[in-house]
Each structure stands twice: as C-alpha cells, then as structure tokens.
C-alpha cells in the first residue's frame, strides 16, 4: 500500500482555510478514483501551548504506486492538486511512502 501525505503549514487566516477546505477542497476527493482511504487531521496545540509544526495533514491511501500515479494524473486528480494553491497560504509539504505491515 502507498500513502500520500500532505502536510499543510499554518494558514494566514485559519477560518478561511477551514471554510474552503470543508466546502470546496474535501469534496474533490470523492471525484478521484483509486483512493482507498483518506484520513484528515487537524493538529492540536502542543502540551507546552506552542503551535505544532504543521496545521493539518491529509493522508491518502492507494493500493499501488501505479494506482496513485494514475489517480493523480487523471482530470479529477489534477483538479484536486491544482486546488491546493487556492487555500493553502501556509504552504504544503508532500511525502509518499510505502505503508509497512
């Protein structure tokens, strides 16, 4: 299994990020064929009261690397990826890895 992880930096206006993410970006996931599971995380303040290193994380799971590549190259995948620049004012870090059993 392959996991695509998107780490979102802290947005300039968190309320704007959340509104767009909920109403516009998240629904785009349903259009991308091949995503087996999606986990979306909003990070909490650290125990010492400081901000976490990242604001949010999206983890998308695919059966194989080829399936992920096909999904992201599709029209729906391209729309999903291109949409990130519309709301991720804190930047993003993208990682891909094999999920170990």
Pair of tokens at residue 97: 């890895």
* Residue matched to tokens 């259009």: 31
**How wide is the angle at C-alpha 93 spanned by C-alphas 91 and 98, nearest 5°?**
160
Kindly report, residue by residue over 15-44, the tens digit of the pLDDT.
999 999 999 999 999 999 999 999 999 999
Kindly report, residue by residue over 46-88, the tens digit of the pLDDT.
999 999 999 999 999 999 999 999 999 999 999 999 999 999 9
Residue 31 DSSP code? G
The answer to whether 21 and 87 have CB atoms below 8 angstroms apart is yes
* 101 confidence band (pLDDT: 50, 70, 90): confident
The domains of the chain are located at 2-43+51-56+66-98
Q: Reply yes or no on domain 2-43+51-56+66-98 having CATH 3.30.70.100.
A: yes
State residue 82's pLDDT score: 97
Answering whether pTM is above 0.75, one says yes
**Does residue 60 sit in helix, strand or coil?**
strand
């Amino acid at each position: 299994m392959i996991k695509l992880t998107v780490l979102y930096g802290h947005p300039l206006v968190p309320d704007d990020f959340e509104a767009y993410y909920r109403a516009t970006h998240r629904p785009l996931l349903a259009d991308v064929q091949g995503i087996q599971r999606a986990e979306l995380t909003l990070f909490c303040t650290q125990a010492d009261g400081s901000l976490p290193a990242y604001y949010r994380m999206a983890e998308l799971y695919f059966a194989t690397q080829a399936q992920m590549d096909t999904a992201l190259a599709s029209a729906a995948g391209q729309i999903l990826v291109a949409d990130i620049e519309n709301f991720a004012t804190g930047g993003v870090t993208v990682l891909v890895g094999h999920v170990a059993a």
